[in-house]
Amino acid sequence: MLRWIRQQLGVDPPHQSDTRTIYVANRFPQNGHYVPQRFADNRIISSKYTIWNFVPKNLFEQFRRIANFYFLIIFLVQLMIDTPTSPVTSGLPLFFVITVTAIKQGYEDWLRHKADNEVNGAPVFVVRSGSLVQTRSKNIRVGDIVRVAKDETFPADLALLSSDRADGTCHITTASLDGETNLKTHYSVAETSVCQSVSQLEALQAVVECQQPDADLYRFVGRITVTQDEEEIVRPLGQESLLLRGARLKNTKEIFGVAIYTGMESKMALNYKCKSQKRSAVEKSMNTFLIIYLGILLFEAILSTILKYAWQAENKWDEPFYNQKTEQERNSSPILKFISDFLAFLVLYNFIIPISLYVTVEMQKFLGSFFIGWDLDLYHEESDQKAQVNTSDLNEELGQVEYVFTDKTGTLTENEMHFRECSINGVKYREVNGKLVPEGMNDDSPDGCTPQLIGEELLFLKAVSLCHTVQISYDQPDDLGGGGDPFSHANGFSSNNMEYYASSPDEKALVEAAKRIGVAFTRCSGETMEIRTFGKSEKYKLLHLLEFDADRRRMSVILQTPSGGKVLFTKGAESAVLPFTTSGEIEKTRLHVDEFALKGLRTLVVACRHFSPEEYADVDKHLSTARTALQQREEKLQEAFNYIERDLQLLGATGVEDKLQDKVQETIEALRLAGIKVWVLTGDKHETAVSVSLSCGHFHRTMNILELLQQRSDNDCAEQLRRLARRINEDHVIQHGLVVDGASLSLALREHEKLFMEVCKNCSAVLCCRMAPLQKAKVVRLWKTSPEKPITLAIGDGANDVSMIQEAHVGIGIMGKEGRQAVRNSDYAIARFKFLAKLLLVHGHFYYIRIATLVQYFFYKNVCFITPQFLYQFFCLFSQQTLYDSVYLTLYNICFTSLPILVYSLFEQLVHPHVLQNKPGLYRDISKNSLLSFRTFLYWTLLGFCHAFIFFFGSYILMGEDTSLMGNGQMFGNWTFGTLVFTVMVITVTLKLALETHFWTWMNHFVTWGSIAFYFIFSLFYGGIIWPFLHTQDMYFVFVQLLSSGSAWFAIIIIIITCLFPDVVKKVFYRHLQPTSTQKSQMYSNHVAIGDDFIALQPLSRAKSQLGKISLYRPPRRRPSAVWSPCAATNTGRAAAPAWPASWSR
């Protein structure tokens, strides 16, 4: 138990050494000196709380919030000293907020516990005591041999021992880990692959040594020592031998594997890392306003305390005849009395700090986030994917974005590759009807006649067909007999029914192109790779695979040819291959690669190297030494790869097209009109990147393109930056675009950061090419921390985009073809780049306006609430007498005024969504946090003070001295006066919100008028009954008396009109004389909203006939631009809306 506690506290980690030793089947040495290592169990724990620590841990987290901690202090002060209000007035709202938040967090954690129990309790089969035993997943221990059947997920990280296949391989899919749906082949070592039965596995004597667990999904270093006939055989284990927890077994009947990493030490669990907490600009403004209001509170409390003692300087007020002091009060310390009075005033005015603001904001964000997922315009029908929200804390930040940093491949493009051109031995070819045609020649060969490629062309196609990691899936044909081409079957499967699966879409496109041309990759079984060259089968033996990595930017295979020779095929980026070539048409190929890039094609260079027997023996030795190393294996492998991949013969290059996504150009243009600058950060070479930027509208044809490329030194980089700055200043009329490569960017950021930022700020668009993933994050961080501190958004689809997605204020993942790592690490996820326009221009606009008004309104209504309490002290000798009843103090923020602002913050729409999308310039109206600027904050605060003065003095003038308002001549008392002020206040602040509401739904009407009605009903019920559990009931019959007075009703109406009439006049005045662009658009949106609602309620035939009538609302001499996006009101509306008349162009 003590050890478990130490582990939970992190002072006793389960393992200490750099490596772990695992005895297969837990067959430990029998000598007495062996001390077994301690490993984690196989339980997955994603929950945050347990039944024992929920209360203390949750309370600790909640009281870290300043407002909650402040109200706790106030509550404790009320308990310790004699204060004018009951502790219930602070305790009950605090209890309500804490309870609601705890229930929400507890429920979310209960769901996590439920999911954990389902995973941990899943049935699994392990080999124990010579038999196959069924147990639960959580009971798997490191060293257990686990059996996994087809289509089952791996319950822990397993090292593959054997499978039902003779070669000991298996196929898996890692879609749940990285989103890649392609089949991946994993291998077992030859010594264990023969152990395919339980009895053989029970007799297996093997020890696995490997690294301690880390979060890298694509890295595993280990070795297995198998003892056979008292001889120890050592074999390396790499990533190809590790079956990750969460991956699924495919196309294999069953496998056996030994558990290497279990539970929270598995690679999947280690990737459950907590992202850094992002805070929105609204939340930062809210905290600033809270501090200002805390200052107002302290000022009012100190001023009231000083005035109390100034007033009591006269004896007649210090100790009047009707309130004589006790002996203890006369002898008490003046300092303690001053502190006590200060704390009492602090308690009296404490409601100026809105405690319920936090819980309302949380509810608004949580409930409001569902609208993104429900938006049918953000649903992608082809992939059946809807937008998803991973964090709701940043909804309003979508309306404040100033910079968008986007990846290119898979984000702006489809990541669907199509082979277009190639260069072989210095000659350009293109594919026409499944044939390679040299440049300048037409396809005039007769149909059915396939040209026989020879020499370099054939070697190039063989290299393309063999240098890859593509997997093949066969579909069994219905009838293998009955004629047909006798050579069209490979191992009983038709080559026409083959489907290729690849982790890289480029590889798949190239292998498919080679197959169309006549060199088909037909089989990969263990170490054998088979191709069919124009009908003739050739078998190659795969000797070594030199995997692709981001540093080398190339991959290679070493093969044994059918004639027995050894050959290396390499393909990769031209900058990673051409420097290592010594023969071939290098310069011509380089020119062709640049031409392909200018056309926007993705380029790869292909080369080869033939080994003599002595050279191959040396290469094999280098690779074997590097792969069996336990320490610094990656570095040694890199050295070995670089040693092998040299003295290459250049074969040619390929050009593959990546199609642009739909409406990318329109989306980028809309973002530009909204005042958002778009940066493209890509790893492609600059010619390809510039071509795509031009085609997608990121760069305009009329734009002056500036270049900061291939800078070799700091001085050269600085001089080039100064030249660019002078060009921009000399020609400031034309728009400029900047192209930067990764190497030059590193130099620019090292010494000349300010100069580089100055150049970038004056450019309309920036393109960064040849970027490493960490460089992308560095660029985002540079602008995020610049003096202007703009709000940044990063969007990408691949694992290489995760760092910039996490670095930006808002991270958006594209549900693309490069896996799900970007989606998992993002704040929001969408299926296509085009959806970004609506996400920002519509949802971002709405969320920001809603929450900005919510925050300002909360402070306004609390100023209205507490200021009369402060003014009342001037009329009661600062005796700390409360103006309102304790129940009213408690329920004001919880019941009487809470629901209208919550519903407003969920449904408000200043402008119709269609207008926002078609007038992107409206996004500028809310930029720079304009609705939460200090000027706006000051307006709402002063408005609150003005209304509070009118509430108090309006009621006071009406109920001045010698004024009888009852029919029987009876005078009103202080509780009636306070209730009158409170009644006027509740109605006024509710109607003030109604004036701010532009988009009325039945729910707005229900909560607005319902809140006022509820206040009246509650007050009549509360004051009309003698409640036995209340020790005093000051409010008995007070409200009934107040409502029975016609003068009181007259006062209520007059005061409300006095408060709200100037607001109405101001709105009308500004709307007609100084309207904003948003207000100008509202009349259009009203027409659109009427049309939408009207059409959505009609039958389809009638709706179509009504569509044309809406065009009557168009201004004269304006032509329509783009078609309205579909109306989501009803299915009928969605069916009719594609024919919707257009918005008006700017």
Annotated catalytic residues are: 407
Best CA proximity match to 217, nearest among 825, 684, 827: 825
Neighbours of 628 (CB within 10 A): 15
Beta partners for 226? 206, 233
Residue with tokens 């402040």: 70
Tokens encoding 237: 């284990």
Question: Strand order of the sheet with strand 231-237?
Answer: 19-23, 206-211, 222-228, 231-237
d(CA 1078, CA 547): 56
Token code pair at residue 634? 């990656």
Q: Where are the alpha helices (DSSP H) in 674-830?
A: 686-695, 714-730, 742-751, 753-761, 773-784, 802-807, 821-824
Query: Beta strands 403-406 and 677-681: pairing type?
Result: parallel
Tokens 């695992």 belong to residue: 22
Structure tokens at 359: 């819980």
| 195 C-beta neighbours (distance < 10 Å), count | 22
Phi-psi region of 3 (alpha: psi -120 to 50; beta: other; left: phi over 0): alpha
Query: Using CA atoms, how far apart are residues 792 and 783, in angstroms rounded to an integer?
Result: 8
Cβ burial of 1091 (10 Å; 0-12, 13-18, 19+) is buried
| Residue 515 φ then ψ, to 5° | -65, -40
- 3-state secondary structure at position 106: helix
Measure CA 724 to chain center: 36
- 481 CB neighbour count, 10 Å cutoff: 5
CB burial string 849-863: b at 16+ within 10 A, e below: bbbbbbbbbbbbbbb
Rounded to whole angstroms, the Cα distance separating 397 from 634 reads: 41
For the CA atoms of 984, 985, 987, 989, the dihedral, rounded to the nearest 10 degrees, stands at 150
24 CB-contact burial (10 Å; exposed 0-12 / middle 13-18 / buried 19+): buried
Contact 553, 544 (CB under 8 A): no
Reduce the secondary structure of 278-346 to three states and give it as a string: CCCHHHHHHHHHHHHHHHHHHHHHHHHHHHHHHHCCCHHHHCCCCCCCCHHHHHCCHHHHHHHHHHHHH
Kindly write down the DSSP assignment for every residue of 505-570, as one continuous string: HHHHHHHHHHHHHTEEEEEEETTEEEEEETTEEEEEEEEEEE---TTT-EEEEEEE-TTS-EEEEE
Closest residue by Cα to residue 572 from 506, 481, 479 = 506
Strand order in the sheet with 145-149: 131-136, 123-128, 145-149, 254-261, 157-163, 242-243
Nearest to 415 by CA among 341, 503, 340, 351: 503
Q: Say how many C-beta atoms besides its own lie within 10 A of residue 570's C-beta.
A: 30
Dihedral Cα 454, 457, 458, 461, nearest 10 deg: -160
Query: Quick check: 1139 and 1104 in contact, CB under 8 A?
Result: yes
> What are the residues facing 157 on neighbouring strands?
261
